[in-house]
Amino acid sequence: MTFHTRIKIPIGFWTGLRQLGIESQDVVRKARLPLTIITEPVVTTSQYFAIWQAYSDLMDDTSKGIIKLATVFETSHYPPTVLTAYHARDYRDALNRMARYKQLCPPENLRITEEGEHCTIELKWSYTEQPGPPMLVGITLAFLLELGRRGTGQPLTAKFVEFSHPMGDVQTLENYFGCPVRIESNSDRLTLHRRDLDCPFVSYNAELLEILTPVLDQSLGEQQRNHSFTEMVKWIIKHSLSGGRPDIHTIASEMGMSNRTLQRRLTDEGASFKYLLTQTRHEQAREYLKDASLDIKEVAFLIGYEDQNSFYRAFHLWEGDTPSNWRTEQIGTSAIT
């Protein structure tokens, strides 16, 4: 089973915020996250949700925040996954590409259904039991309509929009979508006029699609083959080690699921949380000890040991040697080779 938790925030997101008069640092601080996320924008699901909630908190109304960001985002700042939709042949092709390549930048998951005169796009969440913030839900659905408007060059309207949570001023949303908006529904859905899907895109670029499509398809295939749930848990543990021992509750919370669900999915892949924690600590200890600039106490801290003696005992069990002796041998071997 493929699991995604490493989410890359597009640079255009921060640019869009600046155009609205909101500094990226203010959003990150509001989300209580490290400022390095701005320059190294790879985050976990919970961090991703926290950023969207922070943006929402900085806006005076959710509905206004949705429309402002959806409309201010310039096409020149679209990431490749969105560019391939913007330059699609028609609206249907664009939506299908959005749904397909959204798998490369989770946790949003789009399910498209065409029936009768309607096309319904339902927003779900990939491998997380935690629902996304209302702001993220609203912008995701608003952007799908914005994509159609920009691609076709026509003032398209939706047929119906449903949200599972309050979204601020409903009238503002209805003015934007051009249709009734229902709040506190049992799902988050955008219903379009099916006839609009046949509208050609004036932004259609066959040459660009020939370049982007194979690359994105290859990336999608590699991601589906290589990113197991176990690997994602190890990645979360690795980034949570410094200064403390992350427990299963902490990691499950980061991934937006219950302890039981986390353990069950690990069991399905033949692993356990305790084993992954030990394995990750061992791997990181070896990596840090190869860096001569770090003293043993720092290494112990970086892999979650407050007590240096506990680290010594654990390392001796892993390698049959002390950290100091192991480091000396490794550095000596590297010097010879």
List pLDDT tens digits, range 285-298. Answer: 998 898 888 899 98
Residue with tokens 């339902």: 122
Which residue(s) pair with 113 in the sheet? 120
Q: For the segment 32-51, what is each residue's pLDDT rounded down to a tens digit? A: 988 888 888 788 888 899 99
Give the pLDDT score at 337: 44
Q: Are 201 and 88 in contact (CB under 8 A)?
A: yes
The length of the chain in residues reads 337
Give the pLDDT score at 245: 74
Start-end of H helices in the chain: 11-19, 24-30, 45-58, 62-72, 80-86, 91-101, 134-152, 170-177, 206-226, 229-238, 248-254, 259-268, 273-289, 296-302, 308-319, 323-336
The answer to whether residue 25 scores a pLDDT higher than 90 is yes
Q: For the segment 111-157, what is each residue's pLDDT rounded down to a tens digit? A: 999 999 999 999 988 756 677 899 999 999 999 999 999 999 999 99
Tokens standing for 177? Answer: 């979508």
The answer to whether residue 13 scores a pLDDT higher than 50 is yes
Q: Is 213 exposed, middle or buried (0-12, 13-18, 19+ CB in 10 A)?
A: middle
> H or E segment at 158?
strand 158-162
Q: For the segment 170-203, what is each residue's pLDDT rounded down to a tens digit? A: 999 999 999 999 998 989 999 999 999 999 999 9
pTM attached to this predicted model: 0.68
Q: Which residue has the higher pLDDT, 71 or 1?
A: 71
Give the pLDDT score at 224: 61
Tokens standing for 127? Answer: 């491998």
Residue 5: band (very low, low, confident or very high) from pLDDT cuts 50, 70, 90? low
Tokens standing for 32? Answer: 């209580």
Q: How far apart are CA 217 and CA 215, in angstroms?
A: 5
Residue with tokens 């840090």: 288
Domains of the chain: 63-224 (no CATH), 229-336 (1.10.10.60)
- Cβ-Cβ contacts under 8 Å for 230 (sequence gap 6 or more): 266, 269, 271, 276
Q: Is 137 exposed, middle or buried (0-12, 13-18, 19+ CB in 10 A)?
A: buried
Q: How far apart are CA 56 and CA 167, in angstroms?
A: 10
User: How far from 233 is each of 2, 5, 159, 238, 267, CA to CA, in Å?
Assistant: 12, 9, 41, 9, 12
